[in-house]
Amino acid sequence: MSHTLGQLADRVQGEVKGRADLVIKRLGTLENATHEELSFLANPKYEQQLFSTSAGAVLVKTHALAQLVDNAIIVANPYLAFAHLSRLYEPVTQCWTGIHHSAVISHTAVLADNVIIGPNVVIDEDVVIDEGTVIGAGCVLGRGVKIGKRTRLYPNVTLYHDVIIGSDCIIHSQVVIGADGFGFAPNNGRWEKINQLGSVELCDHVEIGASSTIDRGAIENTHIGYGVKIDNQVQIAHNVVIGDNTAIASSTAIAGSTKIGSNCTISGCVGIAGHLTITDQVHVTGMSMISHSIPDSGSYSSGMGMEPTSKWRRTVARVRRIDEMAKQFLQLKQQVNKLLEKVDTK
C-alpha cells in the first residue's frame, strides 16, 4: 500500500514541497510518525510539533507551514485530505470471497452475483441484497430486509424484518436495527404492549457505530437521512426522523417521535426528549438535556461544566437556594422602592 508523495498530492489536488518521489507506507500522527509516514496539521495549537516531528511528510494548509518541514503537501483542508488518503491505507479485513459454506440462506432471498456472505450468517425469506455488499460473520437478516449497493455489515449485526438499508452504508458490530420501540399502554396498573407496525429506513452513505440501536416505528418508519453519521452506543427510539448529514456522538439517547434537522451535530451523552422538533444546523454540546423544541439554528448547551470539587459543592448549595434567594431579592426590591418613594415625596 505504498504511494509516492507526488501520487498522494495528485489524489487531493495538493502541491508538493520537497521530494515528490518520497515513498509513504503509512499514515501517522505528528507526535509519533516515522520517516515512512504522512501526517497532517489541522489544529493550529499543534503547530509547534512541526519542529520536532519525524514524519516523512506533512499535510499543511500554507506555504509558510510547509517551510517548517522537509517534505509537505500543501492543500486547502489538510484534515479532509487526510480523510481521503486514509482510504488508500485501509487494511484488508476480510479473508473470504463469495458465500461461506456455513451461511444459512432462504431460497427466496435474492443476492447479487458479487455479494460476499461471511460464516454463520442467517438470511431469512425475501431478503434482497444488491451488488458489492459485504455481510460479516454472524449477521442475522430478518424477513424482507433490503440492502443497497456496496454496503458493509461488520460481524454480528442484526436487522429485524423489513428493515431497509441504502447504498454505501457502514454498520458496525453489534448494531441492532428494527427492534420494537418502547410502546406500552397503561391498563389498570399493568402495561399493554403496542405492536410496532412500522420499520426502519436508512438512506445512502449512513454509518452506524458499534452497539448502537435504532427502533422500528410504531406505525410509520423510523427514518435516518442521507449521510448521517452515528457513533457507538447511541439509542434512537421509534419514529425518530434524522435529517441529512447530521452527526451524533456516543451515548446519546433520542426519545420517540422526535425530528432532528439536517446538518446538525449532537455531542456525546446528550439526552433528547420525545415529540420534539430540532431545526437544521443546530449544534448541541456534550451532556446536554434537550427538553423542548429548538426552532432556531445555533449552538445549545445545558448542565454545568467541570470545576474543582470544593467550588462545585458551593455552587450546588447556592443553586438549591435560588428560590429562597429570589424571594429575598424581591423583598429587598420592594423595600428599596418604598424608600425611594419616601425620598421623592420630601
> Tens of pLDDT along 150-206?
999 999 999 999 999 999 999 999 999 999 999 999 999 999 999 999 999 999 999
Summary mean pLDDT of the chain = 95
Least confident of 148-162, 165-179, 234-248, 294-308: 294-308
Name 197's bridge partners.
Answer: none
Give the C-alpha separation, 150 to 168, whole Å.
5
Contact 280, 263 (CB under 8 A): yes
Give the C-alpha separation, 167 to 151, whole Å.
5
Where residue 346 falls among pLDDT bands split at 50, 70, 90? low
Among all residues, which ones are annotated catalytic? 238
At position 324, the amino acid (one-letter code) is E
Least confident of 91-105, 126-140, 278-292, 297-311: 91-105
Prediction pTM value: 0.87
**Residue 248 confidence (pLDDT) above 90:** yes
CATH superfamily of 104-300: Hexapeptide repeat proteins (2.160.10.10)
| Predicted local confidence at residue 319, as pLDDT | 86
Domain boundaries, the chain: 3-89, 104-300, 310-345
User: Does the domain spanning 3-89 belong to CATH 3.10.310.10?
Assistant: no
Q: Which of 25-32's residues contact partners 24+ apart within 8 Å by CB, and which partners?
A: 25/1, 26/1, 26/89, 27/82, 27/85, 27/86, 27/89, 28/55, 30/55, 30/58
Find the mean pLDDT for residues 8-37.
Answer: 95
The per-residue pLDDT for range 256-283, each reduced to its tens digit, is 999 999 999 999 999 999 999 999 999 9
